[in-house]
Structure 1
Amino acid sequence: MKSGTLGFVMLCHTALDRAAQVARHWAERDCPVVIHVDKRVKRRAHDGLVKALGDLKNVRFSGRHACEWGTWGLVAATQEASELILRDFPGVRHVYLASGSCLPLRPVEELVRYLDERPKTDFIESVTTEDVGWTIGGLDVERFTLRFPFSWRRQRRLFDGYVRLQRRLGFRRRIPTGIVPHLGSQWWCLTRRTLSAILDNPDREETDAYFRRVWIPDESYFQTLVRQVSGNVESRSLTLSKFDFQGKPHIFYDDHLQILRRSDCFVARKIWPHADKLYRTFLTDDHASQTAEPNPGKIDRLFAKAIERRTKGRAGLYMQSRHPNENWENGRTAAPYSVFEGFADVFENFELWMSKTTGTRVHGHLFAPGKVEFAGGEAVYNGALSDNAMLRDYNPKSFLTNLLWNTRGERQCFQHGPGDLQALNWFMAGDPNAQISVISGAWAIPLFRSNRNFGDIRRDAAELQKIEAEFLNILRSPWVKARVRTWTLAEFVENPMEPLQTIVDEISPRSMRRLTEVPRLTDLTGFGQFLQNLRNQGMQPVLMGDFPATGELRPSNPRRGRPYLVK
């Protein structure tokens, strides 16, 4: 290895003991190191780091700057440390910028050899603001044209308010002539020639004055200026750094060892300070050497999957440690389910028949006001779900999603009606897993068969009709994602076989057999007159369809003729 051809600049602000390990690792392998320690770090900790590395002749400490995220201090610290390494170590041909939480993944000799084969190449991510796709926070070119006198982290309301004010007033800063804004990762590796040209630029005072007021200048200063002076830029970083959907860096732990090896990168950040296994593995000379090109894209699929799992989770699963933001979830529920409104009123023993025909679990009214009507009259169901209505009503959505999660692999069906809790109407309507079948007006059948005071029946009918009408309006919304079918009571009674066949085929698509047995229809003799009596009492029933006041609707014969063969 050529002595001193590669130098490192390290920006440190925490876990200084780990920074000392990495700095010693590089320095003992003939790579000069200049360390900048954040001015906000206590003097005692800083002096401890200086003492820990005091025996190394090729380690220097630069002047200290306060390095708050998004401010000029990070650039000023990098400038001063870079000037020091160029001045004190004239043999350095490449300068590698790293942080105190960085960790070398491959032997230093490989990195030196890699750079020696590319003596005039600058490695720095540098992309125009029009092409960059990873900015978080809504600011790209505005980073260069607005003013940012307030701290984004400590004065967030003032920061956002001042940005909005400048936008409203149409304020724009003038970008200096010759500067084409570029963005990129803070972590770069530049040649001595390029770095010297940037630091010795005769217009540096004016350039620095402009960039002092740019937001997050450490992601744009060197990335922009390198385009003016370098003849060979590879727009990529040799440091592996991954970010989540919020723009925060992923932290690597001990169990990421194999992932880091697969990346073939030379350096990685951000390493957890207590990842003893990672530091022990990579800060030795006996780990496997390789000649592969750095390729962080090899592990992009894993990170993309991790981000998706973090933001969306598994379909229908609401974990204790993570509750997704509204409408971020990866499917509202874990499995398909069917909701029947009015069927148990129209047919006798509908739940038993449907369960037998489709092989599914068919419940009663899960959201009935009195109790949860689990199939078979169970008091406690899968996952220790209680039939207690008070517990269910504390969080109805979680009750339904837990039921569907706990019974994955077995389709759940349940009855619903205007007399039930209506809190989940929008939730079910927007759930692609839901199959909702409604016989509108069927709620009137229990009232018809009751032997109550007609004045009370009329009031209940008006209330139930209003509730069901609101539910039907929801089901007609353009935002509905559920599979919805609705029939008026009159049209369903005239031809019940076809709707039942359609529903059964959808629940059990593999069977695809004609129904040979259907549940018995409730006797509706006199129901038309009952509806007329409601009208006579001043209540207008509109959801049942056209029932004649005299005579009765008759269902069509559901049975088909015996099949025969044509030879």
Structure 2
Amino acid sequence: MTRIAFILLCHKDPGAVIRQARGLAASGDAVVVHMDARASRTDWLRLRGGLSGHPGIALVERRQRCGWGEWSLVAATLSALRLALARFGDATHFYLLSGDCMAIKSAVHAHEKLAADPADRIESVDFFDGGWIKTGMHEERLTRWHFLNERDRKGLFYASLAAQRRLGIARALPADIRPMIGSQWWCLRRATVEAVLAFLDARPDVRRLFRWSWIPDETMFQTLVRHLVPREEIRSCSPTFLTFTDYGMPASFHDDHYDLLLGQDALFARKISPGAARLRARLGDLWASDRRDFPAGGDGRRLHGFLTGRGRVGLRFAPRAWEVGSSLGAGRVLLVVISHKRHVAKRLVGAIKHHTGMLGIDYLFDEEDTALPAMGGLERGLGKRSRHRRAMLRLLYELHGVDRMIICIDPARIDLIRDVMGDRAEVRLLEIDTPLDDAYLREHAIRSDLAGRSEAGLDLLMPPLRQQMQAETRELREARFANHYTLAQEAGAEENDRALRRFLGVEPELARSIGETPHLFDD
């Protein structure tokens, strides 16, 4: 009969750890918890009180002060494993988890899968030739002495490394050991754990090698399991699904990732966002269920990266961090000038800025060279601006310290117009209606690199280009947006003044002055 002893490494949020440990133990499995000694005494006492007396849960009393990339993480794991071996004699498998992990399958399914395939599940690829390390140090993780934590003492860490390089100090690897590397999260059989611990006791040279290496939690177990266990009894993949952001950090999963997670060929996932209360509740219920039918979702890393990389808000996947709360803000006013003839829109916005002093920005979502302030890189590239458009606009309000702003948008960007019209801010639209004659269409095609300057090519392009622009204008009008006004070249001065007055919220005299801007509609 399969019984899992979960090795749970945590450093915060004792309430969540208590729920996690009790939920795992409720299936008849065992849990050994190690809480980082850096945690406050209050958190430690709360954890002890919440888990005391449970026969399937044990706490490591002699705790390690854990630091990322340090031996302390391995030492904590070893202490928990020794306690688990002693306390839970019927445990058949030992599964390493963090406080951010949760099951994405039922306990019944996990037990049956482990029983059906008697093997160790640990990612283990060749340290030198496997291509696992993408950036940063490679062989120097093992061949140099690492006495300091890179994150706590970055300057001293790299000074020590430079000194060892300069002096030619390098450690020799044990001749009979082939280093391996892989994910820190694994599930090992009892005999394998016992063999690893016995080997470490018998080989102080190997223990010393990893004791002073950098990020040993990615190398020690991976190396020793491959050294001690026949290759056919190792499944070189982590049983825990995780993926990474564009910045190389573990991605967090949110409430709308439930279906994605269930489709992965893994038993657990990391990291579940602390704020994903609904996802946590559903996954907790899933572990306790009898469900055995799980979908095959394919490559979750590629799917997650593709969809979140598009900066989508809502829908199936959760928003990126900079999109959270990305309303322009109640009480703010966004004035949007919409025109195919961009020079006309820019001329009008220039007149509005001159007469009112209002902040005005031209086609920031349509033209790469639009003048923008430094915004932490968000301003670089039309793709990034468009993906995070509300965040972009909100930051412009904040950087300039204003509550009113006017921008220009091409009618083709109906998606963007719909987006801002759904915001809590007050949004008004001013459509500039001008004839689209052949001369303008030709110049537009040339400026936009849609065609060369050959007359034949331009003649072929004219009909579909005119149809496209007419369709965009028709879609804009059929949307029937509120606060949609029109400034028409062929309309009378009184009608245009009225549209400007309502759009800008200004006095009639000021609207008339703006409407009388010289050569406003000229090409």
User: Given the two structures, how large is their TM-score scaled by the length of structure 1?
Assistant: 0.58
Note the C-alpha offset of 1:204: 3.3
Q: Which has the larger radius of gyration?
A: 1
- Mapping for residues 144-543 of structure 1, pairs under 5 Å: 144-201=142-199, 202-231=201-230, 232-263=233-264, 265-284=266-285, 287=289, 289-292=291-294, 297-306=298-307, 308-309=309-310, 321=322, 361=341, 363=343, 373=347, 379=352, 385=360, 395=373, 406-407=409-410, 409=412, 499=453, 501=455, 504=458
Per the alignment, in what secondary structure is the counterpart of residue 32 of structure 2?
strand
- Report if the CA contact (8 A) 2:10-2:34 is conserved: yes
Per the alignment, in what secondary structure is the counterpart of residue 94 of structure 2?
strand
Q: What is the aligned partner in structure 2 of residue 39 from structure 1?
A: 37
Distance 1:279 1:9 in 2: 19
Note the C-alpha offset of 1:373: 4.5
- Shift of the 16–508 alpha-carbon distance from structure 1 to 2, 3 Å rule, reads farther
- Report if the CA contact (8 A) 2:108-2:291 is conserved: no
Note the C-alpha offset of 1:38: 0.8
- Shift of the 190–374 alpha-carbon distance from structure 1 to 2, 3 Å rule, reads same
Distance 2:218 2:22 in 1: 27
- Shift of the 507–174 alpha-carbon distance from structure 1 to 2, 3 Å rule, reads farther
- Shift of the 396–180 alpha-carbon distance from structure 1 to 2, 3 Å rule, reads closer
Per the alignment, in what secondary structure is the counterpart of residue 249 of structure 2?
coil
Q: 1:93 and 2:96 equivalent?
A: no
Deviations 1:292-334 (A, max 9, x none): 59x67432232221464469xxxxxxx9948xxxxxxxxxxxx
Q: What is the aligned partner in structure 2 of residue 454 from structure 1?
A: none
- Report if the CA contact (8 A) 2:144-2:171 is conserved: yes
Note the C-alpha offset of 1:378: 6.5
Q: What is the aligned partner in structure 2 of residue 328 from structure 1?
A: none
**Percent identity, aligned pairs only?**
30
Amino acid in the other structure paired with 1:301: R
Per the alignment, in what secondary structure is the counterpart of residue 261 of structure 2?
helix
- Report if the CA contact (8 A) 1:379-1:386 is conserved: no
- Report if the CA contact (8 A) 2:132-2:182 is conserved: no
Amino acid in the other structure paired with 1:237: S
Per the alignment, in what secondary structure is the counterpart of residue 299 of structure 2?
helix
Deviations 1:369-418 (A, max 9, x none): xxx6569x87579x98458xxxx8665996996899821638xxxxxxxx
Higher RCO (C-alpha under 8 Å, 6+ residues apart):
2
- Shift of the 407–41 alpha-carbon distance from structure 1 to 2, 3 Å rule, reads same
Any stretches of 5+ residues in structure 1 without a counterpart? 312-318, 323-358, 367-371, 411-434, 439-481, 486-497, 513-567
Deviations 1:227-263 (A, max 9, x none): 1111211011111111223321111222222222222
- Report if the CA contact (8 A) 2:125-2:182 is conserved: yes
- Report if the CA contact (8 A) 1:97-1:188 is conserved: yes
- Report if the CA contact (8 A) 2:7-2:96 is conserved: yes
Give the number of the structure whose residues are more often helix, by fraction: 2
Note the C-alpha offset of 1:48: 1.5
Distance 1:292 1:39 in 2: 38
Q: What is the aligned partner in structure 1 of residue 13 from structure 2?
A: 15
- Shift of the 511–94 alpha-carbon distance from structure 1 to 2, 3 Å rule, reads closer
Note the C-alpha offset of 1:74: 0.5
Equivalent of 2:47 in 41, 46, 49:
49
Q: What is the aligned partner in structure 2 of residue 492 from structure 1?
A: none
Per the alignment, in what secondary structure is the counterpart of residue 284 of structure 1?
helix
Q: What is the aligned partner in structure 1 of residue 477 from structure 2?
A: none
- Report if the CA contact (8 A) 1:15-1:101 is conserved: no
Distance 1:384 1:320 in 2: 27
Distance 1:396 1:276 in 2: 36
Distance 1:507 1:161 in 2: 63
Q: What is the aligned partner in structure 2 of residue 547 from structure 1?
A: none
- Report if the CA contact (8 A) 1:15-1:273 is conserved: no
Distance 1:400 1:304 in 2: 20
- Report if the CA contact (8 A) 1:262-1:298 is conserved: no
Q: What is the aligned partner in structure 2 of residue 76 from structure 1?
A: 75
- Shift of the 404–292 alpha-carbon distance from structure 1 to 2, 3 Å rule, reads same
Per the alignment, in what secondary structure is the counterpart of residue 228 of structure 1?
helix
Per the alignment, in what secondary structure is the counterpart of residue 157 of structure 2?
helix
- Report if the CA contact (8 A) 2:262-2:294 is conserved: no
- Report if the CA contact (8 A) 1:105-1:268 is conserved: yes
Note the C-alpha offset of 1:184: 0.8
Note the C-alpha offset of 1:61: 1.2
- Tell me how large the CA RMSD over aligned residues is: 4.1
Note the C-alpha offset of 1:274: 3.4
- Shift of the 196–399 alpha-carbon distance from structure 1 to 2, 3 Å rule, reads closer
Deviations 1:157-180 (A, max 9, x none): 332343344445554321122221
Any stretches of 5+ residues in structure 2 without a counterpart? 313-319, 324-338, 363-369, 386-405, 414-443, 467-523
Distance 1:287 1:191 in 2: 24
